[in-house]
Amino acid sequence: MQTPVGFVVDLATETVNELGAALSDAIPKLVMAIVFVSVAYVAIKVVLSIIRRFFRSIYPSEQDLIAQLWTTIIGVFCWFGAALVLLNIVGLGAIAASLGTATGFLALGVSYALSSMIEDAVAGVYLLRDPDFNPGDRVTTQSMTGTVASIELRKSRFELDDGDTVVLANREVEKRWTKEGDSAVNAA
């Protein structure tokens, strides 16, 4: 039979040995994770810089918001992917897989909830890129006739003849509008 002091000494020795083994297993993973995060940080910064320059080259300066939006979306995907790889490196692959799946379902729900906002943003991109729809143009939509005051990502502002300003969702404008002086109806 073992004495209480012997039991405590054996328990402490076993605990220290297991802790040492766990640390020796964890240190390479920790070093690899630190190296990965460092490389991923630099790589993502370089990729986002290139993407930012690319989008700024295809969009004029007044449409810089669109370039920033695309850069941010791509950045979020890059960082999320890096986080999933990091979880895999440190031995939490099952959590990374679950997180990826849960994020997919969450994104599906958010996209459904924000579908009208997304529709506005997509229509806004089309309106911003349309050479026939610019600030200062006189247009007729389904609900009013006025001069385009500004085009934003989600809404457009129109100045009416009486001086009032009307703000319309871009999805409503993009559905059907006519540029005054043009005989053709411009639609999506």
**pLDDT grade for 182, boundaries at 50, 70 and 90:** low
Q: 44-67, pLDDT tens digit by residue?
A: 999 999 999 998 888 888 778 888
Rounded to an integer, the average pLDDT of 114-130 is: 88
pTM above 0.85, yes or no: no
Q: Give the architecture-level CATH label for domain 132-179.
A: Roll (2.30)
**pLDDT grade for 26, boundaries at 50, 70 and 90:** confident
Residue 150 has pLDDT above 60, yes or no: yes
The DSSP string of the chain is: ---HHHHHHHHHHHHHHHHHHHHHHHHHHHHHHHHHHHHHHHHHHHHHHHHHHHHHHHS-GGGHHHHHHHHHHHHHHHHHHHHHHHHHHTT-HHHHHHHHHHHHHHHHHHHHHTHHHHHHHHHHHHHHH-TT--TT-EEEESS-EEEEEEE-SSEEEEE-TTS-EEEEEHHHHHHSEEETT--SPB--
Q: What is the per-residue pLDDT for 42?
A: 97
Residue 187 has pLDDT above 50, yes or no: no
Q: What is the per-residue pLDDT for 125?
A: 87
Q: What is the per-residue pLDDT for 165?
A: 94
Which sequence spans correspond to the domains of the chain? Answer: 4-113, 132-179
